[in-house]
Amino acid sequence: MLDQPLTLPCGAVVPNRLCKAAMTEGLAHPDGTASEELERLYGIWSDGGSGILLSGNIQVDGDHLERPGNVIVDGKLSASAFKALEKMASAGTRHGNHLWAQISHAGRQTQKIVNPSPKAPSAVRLRLPQSQFGEPVALTSEEITTLIDRFVDCAVTCKEAGFTGVQFHAAHGYLLSQFLSPLTNQRDDEWGGELENRARALVSVVTKAREALGDDFPISVKLNSADFQKGGFDFNDSLTVAQWLAEAGVDLLEISGGTYEQPRLLNLDGVEPIEEQSLARSTLAREAYFVDFAKAMREQLSIPIMVTGGLRRKEVMNHVLETGGADMIGVGRPLCVDAEGPNQLLDGADELTRYEDNLSLLPRWLMWLTRLNAVRTINSFATQFWFYEQIANIGRTGKPDPQLTVFRATLAQQKAASAWMTARKNRA
């Protein structure tokens, strides 16, 4: 099943059912242009055998980054910047696979070191202890309209550069996701209130992008199945929005969940009790975090669904595909170390390595401290830095460094982020 092609509603054909999930790279130049490291990284991932590669966040606003090192496409690119993006796209498609640009805006989840006063649907600050995020400022209606156009313009630029599709990031608490949630969108104009208004920004982006990109160019959306926060965006909301997106011309819907405040993708508890969703949960949910949500959506939608998060065993992946749980399987963390992972699965391997099971910031004799939620959260985010550094290693040298400790990886990533921001602020 994994090796079977998938024909999208727009007519594009994906050569197999594996997708390299979007993962932040942090490898762009300080001016936001694609680097030689990104070219090398995506060439290696292209050779790895995935039917689709999803890029990390390509930002539509240089003042609203997910983290230092994001690629930025926030207007007409210079000739050199466009050429760099072309090289990244060419490398990322050299094996005959798709490379889709994940287009995003961090909104209130912009770190203070990037912007201490980020724009958001409403002035609702992240509820995180010792927050690295500043007080957001509510967008004006005119600014929202401008941002919608930026998403579309970025998509057009990526198409012209050679990307074979785009994905609009409307999950994990980033800007388009912030519009969807009544907790973060407290507006009383045409962009807030009822779900139709809260979804207006996202649906407008997709509708305008379809007009600008043509009928035969793949458009995807990454959508939360739920935010898992009381009073927030829930599964029923998600299903309704998914139906609107299908009508607007989306070719593939990726189902995920959670925000920085409730990081369900990392299988962590957030700052408040989890708001459970009213749908049947299967044993598969232990390995494939969002497969039950995807299956419930697929029963109501005619467009293909992708599920990402936790999937490692080929048997489970094929079961998800065969039983209608999804049409595409997203794989992330294993490919930070085993770039050939998709080829290995397609050639007969039974599973991909769960590196995270053997990673910890703490020495083994202190692991009992992870019973504490705060310590477990810190440990999990430090583990994220380990995967970030593996991506950086592949980009810099062509090879990961599996022997690297979580502590050293964390220091390296923090140093790199600081140096990048300094260079960005000091650039001529």
pLDDT tens per residue across span 231-256: 667 888 888 999 999 999 999 999 88
What are the backbone dihedrals phi and psi of residue 164, each rounded to the nearest 5 degrees, phi first? -100, 5
Establish if 365 belongs to a structural domain.
no
Q: What is the pLDDT of residue 274?
A: 47
* Residue 278 predicted with pLDDT over 80: no
Band of the pLDDT at 269, cuts 50, 70, 90?
A: very low
In a domain, residue 371? The reply is no
Least confident of 158-162, 231-235, 368-372: 368-372
Helix (H) or strand (E) holding 387: helix 373-397
The answer to whether residue 382 is domain-embedded is: no
pLDDT category of residue 266 using cuts at 50, 70 and 90? very low
Residue 369 lies in a domain: no
Least confident interval from 94-98, 118-122, 283-287, 373-377: 283-287
So what's the pLDDT on residue 273? Answer: 45
Q: Which residues pair with 167 in a beta bridge?
A: 102, 220
C-alpha to C-alpha distance for 256 and 254, rounded to whole angstroms: 7
**Confidence tier at 275 by pLDDT (50, 70, 90):** very low
* pLDDT surpassing 80 at residue 228: no
User: What element of type H or E holds 249?
Assistant: none
Q: Which amino acid is at 390?
A: Q
How many C-beta atoms surround the C-beta of residue 93 within 10 A?
18
pLDDT at 172: 86
What angle separates helix 79-92 from helix 36-47, to the nearest 10 degrees? 20
Half-sphere exposure of 422 (CA within 13 A, CB side): 6
Worst-scoring range by mean pLDDT, 50-59, 262-271, 329-338, 353-362? 262-271
**Is residue 389 in some structural domain?**
no
The helix or strand, by DSSP H or E, that contains position 262, with its residue range, turns out to be none
pTM of the model: 0.91
Q: Which domain holds residue 132?
A: 6-354
What percent of the chain has a predicted confidence (pLDDT) above 90?
71
| Cα→Cα distances 316→161, 226, 290, 326, 354, Å | 36, 23, 13, 12, 14
Range of lowest pLDDT (113-117, 267-271, 327-331, 413-417): 267-271
Give a yes or no: residue 307 inside a domain: yes
Using pLDDT thresholds of 50, 70 and 90, give the confidence band for residue 134: confident
Place 379 in a pLDDT band, splitting at 50, 70 and 90.
confident
Query: In this structure, what token pair is assigned to residue 71?
Result: 């690629």
CATH number at residue 219: 3.20.20.70
Whether 278 is covered by a domain: the verdict is: yes
User: Which region among 167-171, 219-223, 269-273, 291-295 has the lowest average model confidence (pLDDT)?
Assistant: 269-273
**For residue 133, pLDDT beyond 70:** yes
Lowest mean pLDDT among 156-170, 373-387, 397-411: 373-387
Distance CA 254, CA 231 (A): 23
Number of structural domains (the chain) is 1
* More confident site: 112 or 263: 112
3-class state of residue 100 by DSSP: strand
Return the pLDDT at 277: 44
Residue 362 has pLDDT above 80, yes or no: no
Cα(159)–Cα(358) distance, integer angstroms: 40
The answer to the question of residue 375 being in a domain is no
Secondary structure of residue 98 in the 3-state scheme? strand
Contact predicate 300/259, CB 8 Å: no
